[in-house]
A and B are shown apart, each in its own frame.
Chain A
Amino acid sequence: MDMINVKINGKEITAPKGQTILQIAEANGIEIPTLCYIAEVKAYGACGLCTIEVEGIPKLLRACSAVASDGMVISTDTPRVRQSRKIALELLMSDHTGDCKGPCSLNCPAGTDCQGYVKLIAQGKFKEAVELVKDKVPLPASIGRVCPHPCETACRRKMVEEPISIAFLKSFAADEDLKSGDKFMPEIAESTGKSVGIIGGGPAGLTAAYFLAVKGHKVTVYDAMPEMGGMLRYGIPQYRLPKEVLDMEIASIAELGVEMKNNVRIGADVTFDEIKNAHDATLVAIGAWKSSSMRIPGEDLEGVYGGIDFLRSVALKNPVKLGKKVAVIGGGNTAMDACRSAVRLGAEEVYVIYRRTRAEMPAEKVEIDEAEEEGVIYKFLNNPVEIIGEDGKVKAVKLQVMELGEPDAGGRRSPVPVEGKFETIELDNVIMAIGQKININGFETLELTDRGNISADTETFRTSLDGVFAVGDATNRGASIAIEAIGEAQKASEVIDSYLNGKMIGYKKPYVSEKIVTAADLADREKISRAKMPQRSPEERIHDFNEINLGFSVETAMNEAKRCLECGCHDYHDCKLIRYANQYDVKPERFAGDKHDCPKENELVYIERDQNKCVLCNLCVRVCDEDVGKGLIGLVGRGFTTVIKPEFADRSVTEFCKTCQKCVNACPTGALKTL
């Protein structure tokens, strides 16, 4: 065979004469992007992604068709080439309408593939579902029980009737997996010899430990409390998250070889520097464990407790003494946990005092309702101004009556005092659940934000100290929900891994295509009610701390999962378009304009075509013609309005389609789908 010598990106290559530049590059492991090329059909040259530069030729060439000649000096990744590809991708994305991912996944701070695991659950593949969840969240049984589920808030099924019960499906699958006797365990990479110290064994610290261990690093978690779990253990009551469940999930992480050291308080038992020096990288995930003060007179009276301090004492099975009348101040989830715990500890009258109304309460609606079922009394539009004491003990609380004023920047109406109007209620205890702050003792060497939290880079999670990273409630904007901390920890573990490998790569939010869907678009969907989680009755559950939710049956769970609308694209993981769009950092909004808006078509009986995702690579047309020899589809229209239709727009030709699926397989995006 005649051979030629060419140079690609400076590398000398000998290749058979007559091959295209693309063929030679592929054979030598040099990637040139293509959307409209596959080896089975003739080169076409439409997508413009395979453009390359050849020395001495002023024009860009298309590698898919340009035959290499001896002595060619080829560059496949110059600024000019990258610009040309980037513009092509931006133009394509500017006319690409579809959801890469479902809104559930996009709204999850940890980016869990909700649609993916819901589908696996619908198919009865619980272990596979857990495997997929654990790609992002290593504590699914726990998180599924406690998460305020932003996924469900975003779920489009609510435009039909109610969102999918995503969170409970997650804990259901995880429970099934844990009790199966053959639980999912990830494969662990070969040991890297690097070690990571993680300070804080809460959801963030445990998550980072899981992912770093999987990557082959030696991980040690240090925690100040007697047991691991952080706020999941010491902030969330047993009736919502049984600690036995949490223990099993922590055990699974320990099984990966993660060393867990409890009762280690930084600054007291060991210094931050000592830990830092003992590891190649350190992650600070210490949470926010100090209750915020209301700054009103009487806070130091006996019988006044911080919300999380109160919950911690309950979790430590050493609950503080409560009288008959207890008031919890605040409207968040901690307030709910506190008031419901107080009920269970035997308080006779439990109030929740909140300065706005029920509608503005940040707590989950279901929690608000369940607390009420359990006898909690809400006092809305009241703000404590003084805790009145007697003999150093709480006697009453003086409340300023409020009304709702103008909406604030966030759209919530601000409470304003009604002048001169006060109320006083007699009380034995006040629990202040109005927020949490970080305890920075022992970490004084770290730079803090204006709010007094640890300052961490939002892309790399780096702190002011080299090799020290920080995530979760202790950082930047302060306390948030567990899944937020888990999401940060998962991303940080990738960064830390890259740091340990010598080249730190920050997290970049992937670009995805999203479309707008309205209720009208879903008007034809059959209404199917959301599965109700079976619960113990209020009368029964107020007497103990046992879990109130009884869990889904397999049948209920599978039926519930089947309600999923499958908003995200079936081809997301294989889609070349979105992969390249991210590689080339596209900003298609620059070219926002008209888009194709075609109904989905399925004249090819078993194949659904979505023109709105089509990139007109014409591969389906060419495969059907050149490879299959049928030629059932073709291009119709000109310019921007060109679409793919049955040849000559004649539907009758499609009866010859034998559903060989070669077109579906050739499609570089999710425009074709086998039904």
Chain B
Amino acid sequence: MRIVVGQGSCGIAAGAAKVYSAIEAVIGSSAELTITGCIGMCFLEPVVDIYDGETLVKRLVKVQPSDAAKIIDFVNGNADAVNDIEITDDDKDFLLKQTRIALRHCGVINPEKIEEYIADDGYKALEKVLTTMSAEEVIEEIKVSGLAGRGGAGFPTWFKWNAARQSQGDYKYLICNADEGDPGAFMDRAVIESDPHNLIEGMLIAAYAIGAKEAVVYVRAEYPLAIERLTNAIREAEEKGYLGDNILGTSFSCKMRIKAGAGAFVCGEETALIESLQGERGMPRLKPPFPAQSGYWYKPSNINNVETFANVSWIILNGGEAFASMGTENSKGTKVFALTGKIKKGGLVEIPMGKTLRDVIFDIGGGIKNDAQFKAVQMGGPSGGCIPAELLDTVIDYKALGATGAIMGSGGMVVMDESTCMVGMAQFFLDFTAKESCGKCVHCRIGTKRMLEILNRIVKGEGKEGDIELLEELCYSIKDGALCGLGQTAPNPVLTTIRYFRNEYEAHINDKKCPAKSCSDLLSYAVVADKCRGCTLCARKCPVDAISGSPKNAHVIDKEKCIKCGACYNLCKYSAIVME
């Protein structure tokens, strides 16, 4: 038997490394112990799989180091030893309802062993391309597949490859954008940590298609495990002859290296990424010229995102048509979403295009935590927008999502319930983009700052009549005038929240109320005398001694002193504290 501990960053954060050590300490010779990457079930981490040969016999979830003995007990023949930590049928659905292409090896193979990748048809697509296909045929296959850029913009991949191929130049570069910066998105990290060879293979096929001799992966330094595993994978691939000169004995040569980014969100924008690669300050360039004409070191370059590359080997092996058979008229294949927020089952979800948001959030994600009311989902991170409950049946498709004011984006999906203030949410994202603005263009540098200031005053109850209109005017002007995608999309969270939740803005401005009861400046706490038993707990726990009263008598909150921390509200056993 083989015990496999899921060791993606998220699993490790949940305790997978300690679980691994605990098992290692007691395993003896009863079974083999190894690791895999991230299976994408964040809500069940740490996950431990037990295999008999190639057959998965048990999937154990939320495993604690103290469960190590049980696991060994099971391996040694006690069939019921791990029943209490085995995944439920309901939770199994989380994976069964998905269609995995980009994530197909994630949580299945050992990312640190190239042999496991090769054993699962790894590098077969590269071999097929190098030995049987011309570059044009590769591009054609990608065209047939309908694959579009998964990083956010959704631009047809074949078109970019073709432009770079057609571009005149003695030396061309292939670049992988692994600067996954959207808060709440982590599919690229999962791919690199869990299936680095799939990325390398996809990139090599692209390099062959455009005629690049050098490939660079620009990965954020905040992903140390991804960098470590990719570094290892590049070394392995070089040793096996998949990277370097005369790959697989053909005339195709390509080298690959990693560049760690220093953590600026704007470096996910392709031209800012190139500037950063060149050692310059990460600021976007003017387009045109596009990178296909003048990119890295002003040579023809092609940049795709990790998830895009992760689909390539599958397409080559299964054919573009197989990929295109999934999805909708204008969006083909599958898309990975990072489901987070107030969702029961958070994690990575890969589904064919054409499913609805409801499918993802309720069918796969299991609905809202604590069975609260679904309010909205933020799609596409700070560049995206929120989609309200009444649009839950929106089909996942570039066009349909775009029509809501949100975007597909890189696949971040932050689920919100009724306790989320939509003005506060917009403020959160604007705070992010304003700080991450590179400072180059006026509309973004000062515009997002001014938008943030207006939002700040609204959530403080200092909003003025006309602020909504002023925000809208700024939004449209920034979308029109900003230099790059960061600025052009920064207003989206504000525009969509105004579009769908204008009443919340008005309540903050006109009535000085936060309907979600989330903005502390607009809240006040009071004791309902009838319900208060005079237990004195609140008075004792209040950090600023704002609550007074004698035992067994109703207490009173001094609103002048109260700092609205909510401690009393959360502590009271008799629901005697109200928040208004």
Contacts and interface: CB of A to CB of B under 8 A. Distances in A.
Contacts of A551: none
Nearest to B444: A639
B286 A48 contact: no
Interface of B: 264, 281, 283, 286, 288, 434-443, 445-450, 453, 470, 473-474, 477-478, 480-483
B473 to A, nearest CB: 7
B453 A87 contact: no
A29 interface: no
Interface stretch (A90-98, A220-228, A438-446, A459-467): A90-98
Interface stretch (A60-68, A123-131, A391-399, A503-511): A60-68
Contacts of A51: 480-481
A421 interface: no
B281 to A, nearest CB: 6
B449 A87 contact: no
Contacts of B443: 48, 84, 87-88, 91
Nearest to A42: B286
Contacts of A46: 440-442, 483
B437 A639 contact: yes
A635 B281 contact: yes
Given A88-B481, A594-B453, A640-B437, A44 B447 contact: no
Contacts of B434: 639-640
Given A60-B481, A91-B450, 20 more contacts: A45-B286, A45-B440, A46-B483, A47-B441, A48-B442, A65-B288, A83-B477, A84-B443, A84-B481, A87-B481, A88-B442, A88-B443, A91-B442, A591-B474, A615-B442, A616-B445, A618-B440, A638-B435, A638-B437, A639-B438
Contacts of B445: 616, 639-640, 642
Contact of A639 (B281, B435, B470, B480): B435
12 contacts: A46-B440, A48-B443, A64-B286, A66-B288, A84-B443, A87-B447, A87-B473, A87-B481, A593-B450, A639-B434, A639-B439, A640-B434
A22 B478 CA distance: 22
Contacts of B474: 87, 591
A642 B483 contact: no
A84 B436 CA distance: 22
Contacts of A594: 449, 453
Interface of A: 43-48, 51, 59-60, 62, 64-67, 80, 83-84, 87-88, 91-92, 94-95, 590-591, 593-594, 615-616, 618, 634-635, 637-642
A17 to B, nearest CB: 15
A594 B454 CA distance: 11
A312 to B, nearest CB: 55
Nearest to B447: A91
Find the residue from B434, B439, B440 having the highest chain A CB count within 10 A.
B439
Contact of A48 (B441, B448, B450): B441
Contacts of A637: 439
List 6 tightest A-B contacts by C-beta distance, closest first. Answer: A642-B439, A87-B477, A91-B446, A639-B437, A593-B453, A65-B286
A593 B456 CA distance: 11
A51 B441 CA distance: 12
Contacts of A62: 286, 483
Find the residue from B441, B446, B474, B478 having the highest chain A CB count within 10 A.
B446
Nearest to B287: A65
Find the residue from B450, B473, B482 having the highest chain A CB count within 10 A.
B450
A64 B478 CA distance: 19
A584 B436 CA distance: 29
B281 A634 contact: yes
A390 to B, nearest CB: 68
A104 to B, nearest CB: 31
Nearest to A638: B439
Given A92-B442, A593-B453, A640-B446, A80 B480 contact: yes
Contacts of A638: 264, 435-439
A305 to B, nearest CB: 57
Contacts of A640: 434, 437, 439, 445-446, 449
Contacts of B439: 616, 635, 637-642
A640 B435 CA distance: 8
A44 B286 contact: yes
B442 A94 contact: no
A634 B441 CA distance: 16
A641 B449 CA distance: 10
Contacts of B436: 638-639
A48 B481 contact: yes
B477 A94 contact: no
Contacts of B483: 45-46, 48, 62
A91 B444 CA distance: 10
A45 B448 CA distance: 18
Contacts of B450: 91, 94, 591, 593
A637 B438 CA distance: 8
A66 B331 CA distance: 31
Contacts of A60: 480-481
A95 B446 contact: yes
B3 to A, nearest CB: 46
B247 to A, nearest CB: 38
Nearest to B283: A635
A47 to B, nearest CB: 6
Contacts of B453: 593-594
Given A46-B483, A638-B264, A642-B439, A92 B470 contact: no
Find the residue from A45, A48, A635 having the highest chain B CB count within 10 A.
A48
A55 B470 CA distance: 28
Contacts of B480: 51, 59-60, 80, 83-84
A41 to B, nearest CB: 13
A44 B283 CA distance: 10
Nearest to A60: B480
A26 B72 CA distance: 80
Contacts of A642: 438-439, 445
A639 B473 CA distance: 21
